[in-house]
Amino acid sequence: MRAPLDGIKVLDMAWVGPGPFCATLLGDLGAEIIKIHEPQPERRGSLIMYAFPNTPAFPGLRNCKSMGLDLKSAGGRKIFHELAKTADVLIESFRPGVMKRLGIDYGTLSQLNPGLVYASLTGYGQDGPYRDLPGHDINYISVGGLLGMTGVAGGPPVIPGLLVADMAAGGIGTALGVVAALRARDITGRGQLVDMSITDGVAELMSMWINPLLTYGIEYRRGETMFTGLYPWYNVYETGDGKHISVGALEPYFYAALCKALGREDFVPHQFAEGEKREEIFRHFREMFLQKPRDEWVEELKAQCCVAPVYTIEELVKDPQLLARGMIKDLPHPRLGSVKQVGSMLKLSETPFRVRNWCTRFGEHTDEVLSGLGYDAAAIESLRRNETVS
């Protein structure tokens, strides 16, 4: 059975953060991912984290190929143009204007390949007053409002434990934009530019708090909403063993079951209590959860009250639900034999996720890619001697 994106060739030039995650999602769906990097990427400290074989995060990158190519040389640009003619998708995350200076911008490449889907993934987008500013995840969640809403009431903003802007707003958002543009190409026959701003993505993720302000003038603040710690029934509690449990008893029947389990059915009519009554409920819940270990509370409450253990990373990789869903699994690896990795969130009944290949070193597939363009061994060796490729 063919994978959903089987036959789709992606040129991936986005080497940090959201770009690789986007490419991983597309590769897991069957696309051929060719990562284009400079001939000697080890010279740049920003890329050392991706020196595949020896990093803790990556024993290699799955479902992709690696090619070293000097885009500042005439020969390198010629090869890239040849690749672009055969590609379906390009992903890049340079600052606006860089690709144009290299002669590989959307306007240029769309003339060579009208069907090309060209995804430009940047912090602030291709236009607007911030377009040329540098930034990282923490900056994008600041402008997008997420950082300002994260933390307890009266306390400072707290950095989330995940690069939400990069991975969700950037990586997943761009992958969705690419798939949508490919579908549009099925209808129109033409590709298009996907202008993805990570900050735009964060703002859309924050729409549940932004829209009430725009529509009704209601402004929500950090720690003062039902989903950010205002009420006792949607909160985190320390347990008797020093661990923590999350409680999400939002619906009245879940809240009633929680109150009963914690010995205070008289709290049931006061789910949305304010002031001293709310603090009384908080105090009781805190005292009760300290009386037993976390896992005992989870076992006692999980079927009736919407609770879950707050895991460390070491704990989550052993969770039976994640194991049953294939989110932590052994994958075949060309050098290690087998390696435990996070699986794919995408569960398609007819075309399940599989690993087709790995990239374990820079430039590993350069010869293969060039051969596919018609270059013979002598020509490839000549290109390598003058450092056009690696």
The per-residue pLDDT for range 235-282, each reduced to its tens digit, is 999 999 999 999 999 999 999 999 999 999 999 999 999 999 999 999
The per-residue pLDDT for range 59-114, each reduced to its tens digit, is 568 899 999 999 999 999 999 999 999 999 999 999 999 999 999 999 999 999 99
| Domain range summary for the chain, segments of one domain joined by + | 9-204+326-385, 234-316
pLDDT value for 58: 56
Strands annotated E in 198-276: 234-238, 244-248
Residue 1 binned pLDDT confidence (cut-offs 50, 70, 90): confident
Residue 49 binned pLDDT confidence (cut-offs 50, 70, 90): very low
- DSSP secondary structure code for residue 45 in this structure: G
Q: Pull the structure tokens for residue 226.
A: 């039902």
Same fold, 9-204+326-385 and 234-316: no
Exactly one of 12, 88, 105, 166 is catalytic; name it: 166
Exactly one of 81, 136, 244, 284 is catalytic; name it: 136
Residue 124 binned pLDDT confidence (cut-offs 50, 70, 90): very high
Q: Pull the structure tokens for residue 341.
A: 């990795």
The reply to whether 136 belongs to the active site is yes
Mean pLDDT of the chain: 93
Closest CA to 361 of 56, 53, 63, 64: 53
CA distances from 68 to 34, 54, 77, 81, 389 (A): 10, 19, 12, 15, 5
> What top-level class would CATH report for the domain 234-316?
alpha beta
Q: Look at residue 142 and give its three-state secondary structure.
A: helix
Domain 9-204+326-385 falls in which CATH fold?
Rossmann fold (3.40.50)
State residue 381 phi and psi, 5-degree precision.
Answer: -65, -40
